[in-house]
Amino acid sequence: MISARLERVEESATLKYSKKAKDLIDKGVDVINFTLGEPDFDTPENITEAAYRAMKKGETHYSAVPGIPKLREAIAEKLRTENHIPTNAKNVMVTQGAKLAIFEALMTVVDDGDEVLLLDPAWVSYEACIKMAGGKPVWVPTDPDNNYQPLHDISKYVTSKTKMIILNTPCNPTGSVYDKPCIQEIADLSIDHDFLVMSDEIYEKITYGKDNISIASLDGMADRTITVNGFSKAYAMTGWRLGYLNVPDHIFPSLEKIQSHSISNVTTFIQHGGVEALTGPQDALIRMRKEFEERRSILVKGLNNLGLKCPMPEGAFYAYPDVSAFGSGEEITNRLLEEAHIAVSPGVAFGESGKNNIRISYATSKERIQEALVRMEKMFG
Q: What is the pLDDT of residues 333-362, one digit of tens each?
A: 999 999 999 999 999 999 999 999 999 999
What CA–CA distance (Å, rounded) separates 329 from 332?
A: 5
Please tell me whether residues 184 and 223 are part of one structural domain.
Answer: yes
Q: Count Cβ atoms within 10 A of the Cβ of residue 1 and give its class: 0-12 exposed, 13-18 middle, 19 or more buried.
A: exposed
Would you state the pLDDT for residue 134?
A: 95
Q: Residue 50: inside a domain, yes or no?
A: no
- Does residue 112 fall inside a structural domain? yes
pLDDT at 235: 98
Q: Compute the average pLDDT of residues 174-200.
A: 97
Please check whether residue 254 lies inside any domain of the structure.
Answer: yes
Residues 210 and 267 reside in one and the same domain: yes
Given a cut of 80, whether residue 194 has pLDDT beyond it is: yes
Q: Which of these three, 256, 279, 302, is where a domain ends? A: 279
Residue 140 DSSP code: E
Q: What confidence tier does 291 reach under pLDDT thresholds 50, 70, 90?
A: very high
Asked, for residue 264, whether it belongs to a domain, the answer is yes
Whichever domain contains 182, its CATH number is 3.40.640.10
Residue 67's region, left for phi above 0, alpha for psi from -120 to 50, else beta, is left
pLDDT of residue 11: 77
Share of the chain above pLDDT 70, in %: 100
Structural domain of residue 249, as residue ranges? 61-279
Question: Is residue 49 situated within a structural domain?
Answer: no
Asked if 169 and 272 sit in the same domain, the reply is: yes
Q: What phi and psi values does residue 103 have, to the nearest 5 degrees?
A: -60, -45
Q: Which residues pair with 140 in a beta bridge?
A: 119
Could you give the angle at the alpha carbon of 58 between the alpha carbons of 56 and 63, nearest 5°?
Answer: 130
Contacts of residue 161, defined as CB under 8 A and 6 or more positions apart, other chains included, come to 113, 114, 115, 136
Q: Give the model's confidence band at 283: pLDDT under 50 very low, under 70 low, under 90 confident, else very high.
A: very high
Note the pLDDT of residue 53. 98
Contact 175, 315 (CB under 8 A): yes
pLDDT of residue 237: 98
Q: Does residue 128 have a pLDDT over 90?
A: yes
Residues 296-305, mean pLDDT to the nearest whole number: 98
User: pLDDT band for position 21 (50/70/90)?
Assistant: confident
* pLDDT given at position 2: 83
249/172 same-domain check: yes
Is the same domain home to 234 and 104?
A: yes
What is the residue-averaged pLDDT of the chain? 96
pLDDT tens for each residue of 220-270: 999 999 999 999 999 999 999 999 999 999 999 999 999 999 999 999 999
pTM above 0.85, yes or no: yes
pLDDT at 208: 97
pLDDT value, residue 247:
98
pLDDT digits 0-9 by tens, 82-98: 999 999 999 999 999 99
Nearest 5°: the CA angle 226, 105, 205 is 50
| Three-state SS at 95 | strand
Cβ atoms within 10 A of the Cβ of 240, count? 24
Cα–Cα dist 31/186, whole Å: 41
DSSP three-state, residue 330:
helix
Q: Is residue 371 part of a domain?
A: yes
Is 48 within a domain? no
Does the pLDDT value for residue 1 go beyond 80? no
Q: Do 70 and 101 belong to one domain?
A: yes
DSSP label at 338? I
Count of domains for the chain: 2
Residues 249, 184: Cα–Cα separation, whole Å:
23
- State whether 121 and 246 are in the same domain: yes
Strands of 318-319's sheet in order across? 318-319, 358-361, 345-346
Question: What's the CATH code of the domain at 335?
Answer: 3.90.1150.10
pLDDT of residue 58: 98
Q: DSSP characters for 269-306?
A: HHHHHHHHHHHS--HHHHHHHHHHHHHHHHHHHHHHHT
Q: 109, 102 in Cβ contact below 8 A?
A: no
Higher pLDDT, 85 or 381: 85
Domain end residue (candidates: 279, 306, 328): 279
Same domain? For 176 and 90 the reply is yes
The answer on 265 and 139 residing in a single domain is yes
Indicate whether 10 and 69 sit together in one domain: no
Same domain, 105 and 216: yes
Mark whether 122 and 258 lie in a shared domain.
yes
Q: In DSSP terms, which residues pair with 200 in a beta bridge?
A: 168, 228
Domain final position from 234, 255, 279: 279
Strands 225-230 and 196-200: parallel
In this predicted structure, the answer to whether residue 13 has a pLDDT above a threshold of 80 is no
Say how far apart CA 36 and CA 25 lie, in whole Å: 15
- Among 139-143, 151-155, 220-224, 351-355, the minimum mean pLDDT is found in 151-155
Is residue 189 included in any domain, yes or no? yes
pLDDT at 15: 77
DSSP state of 154: G
